[in-house]
Each structure stands twice: as C-alpha cells, then as structure tokens.
Structure 1
Amino acid sequence: MHFSVITRVIGLLVMVFSISLIPPIIVSLIYNDGALDAFLYALLVNLLGGFLLWFPVRNARGELKIRDGFLVTVLFWTVLGLFGSVPFFLSENPDLSFTDSLFESMSGFTTTGATILTGIDDLPKSILFYRQWITWLGGMGIIVLAVAIMPMLGIGGMQLYRAETPGPVKDTKLTPRIAETAKALWYIYATLTSVCALGYWIAGMSLFDAICHSFSTVAIGGFSTHDESIGYFNSVAIELICVFFMIVSAFNFALHFFAWRHKSIWHYFKDPEARFFLLILSSTVLLSTLVLAMTSTFDWSTSLRYAVFEGVSIATTSGFSTSNFSNWPHFLPFLLIVTSFVGGCASSTGGGMKVIRILLILKQGLREIQRLIHPNAVIPVKVGGKAIQERVVSAVWGFFSAYLLVYIVLMIGLMATGLDQVTAWSAVAATLNNLGPGLGEVSSSFASIGDPAKWMLCFSMLLGRLEVFTLLVLFTPMFWQR
C-alpha cells in the first residue's frame, strides 16, 4: 500500500475541488445574498486542507495498484463530504449543525437528494446553487473527472476508474485510453446537462432554476430550488422534459457514446438492459395509473400525469416530486420504493442495484428451475444472446447478498435509535439506493430524526454510491495484508 502516494493524491484532489467553490461565489456576488463569506472561508479551508495533505508527501511517486484505487476512492468521497459541508456549516442561512451540514453535503455528492432543509425557497441563491452543483459533480463521479486529468498529475487512473464506475463489469473502456474514456463520459454528461437546461428555460423556468434543475436532473440527484420540487412549476411541459432526461440519464452512458460515435439510436432498442429497464418503467406507470384512477384518488388524466412522473422519478432514483406519493393508496408507496432497488442501468448516474444485475438474477433463477427438470444439462446464462461468464453471475449474487445484508443491518440500527419500522425501512432504501425521499417521518425531509440516525444514513449513502463492495472491502483483514 502506497500511503504517501495516496495522501498526495487526496491532497491534490481536495485542492482541485476547491476550484469548484468559485461558481457559487460568483452566484453570491451576483445576487448579493449574504452567503459570500461562508464560501470564501470554505475556499480557504479547502485549499489549506488540501495543501497540508499534499505538501509533506509532494515528492511521492508511484503507480496506484488496485487496492490503492479502492482506498483513494473511499477516502476521497469521505473527505469530499467533509470539506463540502463547510459552506453549509459556516452559512448563517441555513443555520445547520455539523451533522446536518455533513448530511446535506454527503447527500449532494452521492446524488441521493435526501435533505434536512425546510424553507428551501427562502435560502440564499448561492446555497441553492451549491446544492445543485455538488450533485452534478457527484453524478458522473468526481473520481472519473479526476482520472481525466491524472496524466497531467503523473498518476495512473485505471484503478480509480474500476473502483468508481458502477456496474458488474468494471473493465470495459469506451476508448483505448482510460483518460479519453473519462473525457468522453464527461463531454456527454455536460452536453445532456446543457440541452436539459435549455429545454427547462424554453418551457418556462427562470434561467437560474433551469440551470440548477438541469444539474440535478442529469445527475439523477433530486435536489430542487423549491420546497415543492418540480411540482412548484405546475407545468406538464417541464414535467415531460424532466421525465425524458431522467430516463436518458438512467441509461448506460456507453449507449450514448455509441449513439454519438455511430450517429444511430437503434442500439438503444437492441440493448437487453435498456429494454428491461423500459419494461419496468412502463409496468410501474401503468399499474400506478390504474390504481390511482380506480380508487378515485385522481381523475384518469391526472392519474396518468402523476404516475408517469413519480414512477419514473422513483424508479430512476431521481427523487423529484409533483405529488406526495407517500399518501397514495394501497401498495403504491411500497411499490415505488421497491422499484428504486432496481435503479438505473450500469454506468449511469442512477442508484440502486442496477438493472443488469436484476436481469441476471432473474435469468439465473430461471436457469435453476430448468436444472430441476434437466439436472445434467449445461444451461448458460445469456444476455442479448451472449453467454455471461460464471464469475460475473457469481459476483452478482454476491453483491445481491451483501446489499440485502447491509440493508437489514442498517434498518435494525435505525430502529434502535427509536424510528418506527416504516420510517427505518424507507430511510435505508432512500439512502442506500441514492433515492432521496422516503415514507413516514422522512417523507418530506430528514430533519426530525436524531443525529445517530443521520450518521448511519450518511454511511448508507456512501455505501450506495460506491456500490457496497468498494467500501466494505476496506473492512476485511485481507485488504490490509501485504
């Protein structure tokens, strides 16, 4: 383990992150919102903190190994959450404790969208912008962005890419060079964000709201500049734009890369993961519409409108809202939370276990049924007509088991703090799946729960963003053995 090199990398990345505080400083100057000092002090803290980490080991050099990559990834997301909380902590509005500041920061960077804030409409514009901005940075992963500039820093980036990129297969590169892969992903990400912002602006949002909501839409983060979220605008056009970009952002970004490279969209319809994802969305929307309309909760057109938006928002783990789905009848609140466990496609900005894993688990289950009938048959698990390696299938089952075990342990931990079962169940789902809203006490915000519960949920957000294994591997004795 190259601890000096790892410390140098963390220090460099923290100093690079400090540059990201310049945009909210500019916003504060434009609107004269009173939060300027908080961001200036935060900039100083980040620069000084990064410098103190980097300077003692500034001459350390060496190629990062796989274990180093895991440690850098976990440490950076943890340190990022800490340093990112400084503006929230120093700002007079909102007046947050350290725990609440860390919760809000971690929720933004992990694109969870869970919030402890109320009265969002009255917050300084720069604070509102900062929440959306850190969500956008976390969406594709700042580590992937860092990988793109690693060659300039003299540090290898493949190990960081493997540790950061979501999905069961981590070695796939869109281009021969990993830095070029990271750049390609960010070009696509920035382009989608720009087009989304333009669409919101044309549909009637103010320029500020359009930019801010484009950040959290493409990042599938769910933060909004209003307490009523997207429902504040009461616009079908805005909702449709939001739905479109939530779906697009939940697709595997490799599909967007090939669409750009080959000037074709047909591979979207041929991709088995994308087809299964659309099947889940359409089934959820159809069932929700029928239940809402047949229970006379809304009329048919309103039922369809709310079902489409909430179904897509929750299933993609975005967490935007136009209606309080926690008050919907019968099983619908439970159903929507369950869809967030599936989440987006691999290599997307969505959370959850990822669509491809669920698809592989279903196909593996079907194979076991077939083996009962034909015990001696060799039946491969196939996706898109191609056989999947047994190693990948086993890894998916291992991930599924670890995910559920972590979920149960966290839920029991939350219940031990005094939360009721529904609140604890949905709070873990909302954070582990990087969803945002929950049920019970956390249906609107997480402000009412205690600090021990918030710390556990911060850990849950980090587990979800790093896909469990990346973080859990650090707790195994084997990881630290030479």
Structure 2
Amino acid sequence: MQYPQIQRIIGILLMLFSTSMLPAAAVGLFYHEEAMNAFLSAFVITMIAGACIWLPVRGQRAELRTRDGYLITVLFWLVLGLFGAVPLWLLEMPDLSVADAVFESFSGLTTTGATVITGLDTLPRALLYYRQQLQWFGGMGIIVLAVAILPMLGVGGMQLYRAEMPGPLKENKLTPRIAETAKVLWYIYAGLTVACALAYWAAGMDLFNAIGHSFSTVAIGGFSTHDASIGYYNSPLIEAICILFMLISGINFALHFLAWRFRSLKNYWQDPECRAYVLVILALFIICFAVLVHYQHHDVWTSVRYAAFETVSIATTTGFGVTDFSTWPTLLPYLLLYASFIGACAGSTGGGMKVIRVLLLYKQGEREIKRLLHPRGVFPVKLGNSPVPDRVVETVWGFCAVYVFTFAMLFLILLGTGLDFVTAFSALTACINNLGPGLGEVAVHYGNLDAGVKWVLSFAMLLGRLEVFTLLVLLSPMFWRR
C-alpha cells in the first residue's frame, strides 16, 4: 500500500472539493444572504484540512495499485461526505444537527435525494444551490472528474476509475487513455446538463431553478428547490422534459458517446441492456396506468401523466415527485420500490443493482433450467450475440448475494431501533438504491427519524453508491495483507 501517495491524493482531492463551496457563497452574495458566510467558512476549513493532509507528503510519487484505488475511493467519499456537511451544520437556517447535516451531505453526494430538510421554499438560495450542486458532482463521481483534470494521478488513474465507475464491466474504456475517457464522460455529462437547463428555462422555470433542477435531473439525484418537487410547477411540459432527461441519464454514457461519435441512434436499441431498461420501464408504466384507472384513483389523462412520471422517476432511482406515490392503491408503491432494485444502466448516473446485472441473473437462471433438462449440454450466457465470460457471471452472482445479505443485516438493525416494518424496509430500499422517497414515515422526508437511524442510512447510501464491494472489500483481512 502506497500510504504517502494515498495521503497526498486525498489532500489534493479535498482541496479541490473545497472550491465547490465558492459558487454557493457567490449565490449568497448575489442574493444578499447571510448564508454566504457559512460557505466561506466551510471553504476555509476544508481547504486548510486538505492542505494539512497534503503538505507533509507533497513530494511523494508512486504508482497506484488496485488496492490503493479502492482505499482512496472509499476514504475520499467518507471525507467528502463529512466535509460536505460542514456548511450545512454552520448555517443558522435550517438549524441542523451533526447527524442531519451528514445525512443531507451523503444524500446529495450519493445522488440519493433523501432529505431531512423541510420548508425549502423559504430557505436561502445559497443552500438550495449547494444541495443541487452536491448531487451534480456526485452524479458522475468526483474521482472520475479528478482523473480527468489531475494528470498528477498518472498511471494510477485506471485504479481509481475501476473503483469508482458502476457496473460489472469496469475495464471498458471509451478511449485508449483513461484520463481522456474521464474527460469524454464529463463532456457528455456537462452537455446534457446545459441542454436540460435550457429546456427547463424555455418551459417556464426561472434561470436559478432551471440550473438547479438540471443538476439533480442529469445526476439522477432528486433534490429540488421546492418541497413539492417537480409537482410545484404543475406543468405537463416541464414533467415531459424531466422524463426525457431522466431516461437519457439512466442509459450507459458509453452509448451516448457512440451516438455522438457515429451520429447514429442505432447503438441504443442494439445494446441488450438499454433494450431491457426501456422495456422494464414501459411494462411498469402500463401496470401503474392500468391499476390507477381500474381503481379510479385519477382520471385517465392524470393517470397517464402521473404513471409516466413516477415510473421513470422511481425506476431510474431519481426520486422526483409530482404526486405522493405512497398513497397509490394495492401493489403499486411496493412495485415501484422493487423497480429501484433494478435501477438504471451500468455506466450511468443511476443507482440500484443495475439493469445489466439483473439481465445476467435472468439469463443465468435460464441456463440453469436448461442444464436440468440437458445435463451434458453447453449453454453460454450471451448478451446480444456476444458470450459473457463465466467470470463476469460469477461476479454478478457474488455481488447480488452480498447485496441481499447486506440489505437483510441493515434491515434487522433498523427494525432493532424501533422503526415499523414499512418505514424500515422502504427507507433502507430508498437509501441503498440511492432513490430517496420511501413509504410510511419517510414518504415525505426523513427529518423525524432518530439520529442513530440516520447514521445507518447514511452508511447504506455510501454502500449503494460504491456498489457494496468497493466498501466491503476494505473489511476483508486479505485486503490488508502484504
């Protein structure tokens, strides 16, 4: 383990992150808000802390190994989440406890969108902007950004990229050089954000809210500047724009790159994961629409509108709302929560287990059934026309087993704190899948939960964002052996 190099990079990344508090301070200055002082103070604290970590080892240079990449990734998300909470804790309005500030910070950076804050419409705009910006930075990953702009990370960039990027096929690169790959991802990400902001602005949002909501839409985060979320605007056009960009952001960004490079959309439908992603969302929409109409919960047009929005929002793990889906009849609230376990595509900004993993599980299940009927047969698992290596299939099985086991353990812990079954299940589902809204006590916000529960859920958010293995591998004794 290259501990001096790890310390140096953590210090650099923390100093880099400290500058993200300056735009929020600028917003406070523009609107003449006292909240500006909290962000300036947090900037100074974070910058000094990063400098103190960096200075003692500033001359260290060493090649990063795979283990170093995992440790840097986990440490940085922990450190980033804690320091991201500093301005939230310093603000006089709202008056947040340490647990609340950390919860809100982790929720933003992991693009979960669960919040402990209410009365958003009356809060300082500097705070509102900061929450949205946290999600935007967390969406593609601060570390991928760092690989793109910090050549000092050098050949170790691949280790950070593999530890940070979601999905089972982490070795795939869009360009020969990993720094160029990271830059391509961020160009696409920024381009989608600008397009989304302009579309919101043209549809009737003011510029501040258009920018803020574009941050959380493309990041698949779900934070809003209003308590009523997207429903505040009561605009079918704004909802349609939001649906479009949530769908786009839930697709593997490598497909966006191919579409841009070859000026063709055929790669989207030719990709098995993207096809499955679209078909799952379409099936969910049809079920939700049919049940809402059958039970006359809304009229036909409103059922189409709400079913389309909530299906896309929950299935992509964004978490925006135009209505309270927890009050929908029969199976629908739980069906949508189950959909968040599938989540978006690998290589997107979405959460969940990822469509490609669920697709491989399904195909592996098919193969096992065929083997029962034909024990001597050879049945490769294929995505499209390409066989998937057994090693990848085994990794997916292992990931899902650990995911389910971890969920079960955390669920028991939450029940042990006194939460009711519905609240505990939905809160953990929403946090570990980086979704946000839940059922029961957390249908609207998480502010009424005990501090201990918020710490457990903050850990669950981090597990989900780092896809379980990246964090749990540090708990393995083998990881620390030389």
- For Structure 1 versus Structure 2, the TM-score category normalised by the shorter chain is over 0.9
Partner amino acid, structure 1, of 2:242: C
Per the alignment, residue 268 of structure 1 pairs with 268
The answer for the alignment partner of 1:361 in structure 2 is 361
Tell me which residue corresponds to 1:386: 386
| Cα distance per residue 1:226-252 (max 9 Å; x no partner) | 000000000000000000000000000
Q: CA deviation at 1:61?
A: 1.2
What is the identity, as a one-letter code, of the residue corresponding to 2:107?
A: S
Say if 1:150 and 1:157, in contact at 8 Å, map to a contact too.
no
1:51-108 per-position Cα deviation (integer Å, ceiling 9, x unaligned):
1111111111101100000000000000000110011000001110111000000000
Deviation at 1:150, TM superposition (A): 3.0
> Where do residues 73-472 of structure 1 align in structure 2 (5 Å cutoff)?
73-152=73-152, 154=154, 156-472=156-472
Aligned residue type for 1:116: V
Letter in 1 for 2:343: G
1:25 aligns with 2:25: yes
1:303 is displaced (CA, Å) by 0.5
Tell me how far apart the structure 1 counterparts of residues 209 and 150 of structure 2 sit (CA, whole Å). 33
1:411/1:425 contact within 8 Å kept: yes
Residue 33 of structure 1: how far off its partner (Å): 1.9
Give the Cα separation in 2 of the matches to 1:378 and 1:434: 38
Report the residue type matching 1:211 in the other structure: I
Distance 1:142 1:191 in 2: 17
The two structures, once aligned, show a CA RMSD in angstroms of: 0.7
Instruction: Determine the C-alpha separation between the residues in 2 that align with 1:267 and 1:409.
Output: 40
Aligned counterparts, 1:63-74, within 5 A: 63-74=63-74
When normalised by structure 2's length, the TM-score is: 0.99
CA distance in 1, matches of 2:253, 2:210: 23
The 2-side partners of 1:367 and 1:248 are apart by 31
Deviation at 1:374, TM superposition (A): 0.5
Residue aligned with 1:446, SS: coil
CA distance in 2, matches of 1:295, 1:390: 46
Contact 1:276 1:355 in 2 (8 A): yes
Q: C-alpha distance in 2, partners of 1:431/1:116?
A: 13
User: How far apart, in 2, do the equivalents of 1:478 and 1:123 lie?
Assistant: 48
- Distance in 2 (CA, whole Å) between partners of 1:274 and 1:12 is 37
Three-state SS of the structure 2 residue aligned to 1:222 is: coil
Deviations 1:119-172 (A, max 9, x none): 111110000000000100000000000011231455621100000010001110
Moved over 2 A (4+): 152-156
| 1:330 alignment partner, SS class | coil
Q: Residues of 1 paired with 2:156 and 2:26: CA distance? A: 33
Distance in 2 between residues matched to 1:403 and 1:152, nearest whole Å = 34
| Counterpart-to-counterpart distance in 1, 2:404 and 2:448 | 26
Q: Residue 23 of structure 2 aligns to a residue in which SS?
A: helix
Q: Which residue of 2 aligns with 1:41?
A: 41
Q: Distance in 2 between matches of 1:233 and 1:87?
A: 29
Task: Give me the identity figure in percent.
Answer: 60
Distance 1:153 1:17 in 2: 16
| Partner Cα separation in structure 2 for residue 428 and residue 101 of structure 1 | 19
SS, match of residue 318 in structure 2: coil
Aligned partners of 1:268, 1:34: CA distance in 2, in Å? Answer: 48
Contact 1:150 1:156 in 2 (8 A): no
Cα separation, 1, equivalents of 2:267 and 2:106: 35
Contact 1:381/1:387 (8 A) holds in 2? yes
Aligned length: 482
- Return the offset for 1:21: 1.2
Separation in 2, partners of 1:334, 1:179: 41
**Contact kept in structure 1, 2:69 and 2:156, CA below 8 Å:** no
Give the drift of 1:271: 0.8
Deviation at 1:449, TM superposition (A): 0.8
User: Using a 3 Å threshold, how does the CA distance of structure 1 residues 314 and 422 change in structure 2: closer, same or farther?
Assistant: same
What amino acid maps onto 1:78 in structure 2? L
Partner Cα distance (2:213, 2:273) in 1: 27
Task: Structure 1 unaligned segments of length 5 or more: list them.
Answer: none
Structure 1 residues 194-251: Cα deviation after superposition (integer angstroms, max 9, x where no partner): 0000000000001000000000000000000000000000000000000000000000
1:478 matches 2:467: no
Secondary structure class of the residue paired with 2:20: helix
Asked if the contact 1:86/1:101 (under 8 Å) is kept, the reply is yes
Q: TM-score, normalised by structure 1?
A: 0.99
Mapped contact 2:147–2:153 kept (Cα < 8 A): no
Aligned residue type for 1:27 = V
Q: Secondary structure of the equivalent of 1:157?
A: helix
What 5-or-longer segments of structure 2 have no aligned partner? Answer: none
Aligned AA (1:178): I
Distance 1:152 1:475, change over 3 A: closer
SS of equivalent residue, structure 2 residue 150: helix
Task: For residue 49 of structure 1, report the CA deviation from its aligned partner.
Answer: 0.4
AA of the residue aligned to 1:8: R
Distance 1:361 1:127 in 2: 42
Q: Is the 8 A contact 1:81 1:102 kept in 2?
A: yes
Q: Quickly say closer, same or farther: Cα 1:244–1:125, change in 2 above 3 A.
A: same
1:206 maps to a residue whose letter is D
Q: 1:389 to 1:272 in 2, by over 3 A?
A: same
Deviations 1:369-402 (A, max 9, x none): 1111111000000011110000000000000000
Q: Distance in 2 between matches of 1:300 and 1:36?
A: 47
